[in-house]
Amino acid sequence: MAYDLALADEIRTVLDGAPEVTERRMFGGLSFMVNGNLAVGVRGSEGILVRVGADAAEELVRTSIATRAVMGARTMAGWLAVGPDGLGTEAELSEWVQRGVDYARSLPPK
Residue 103 is predicted with a pLDDT of 97
Distance in angstroms (rounded) separating the CA atoms of residues 35 and 17: 13
The pLDDT > 70 percentage for the chain reads 99
Output the pLDDT for position 1: 56
Residue from 27, 30, 24, 25 nearest 42 by CA: 30
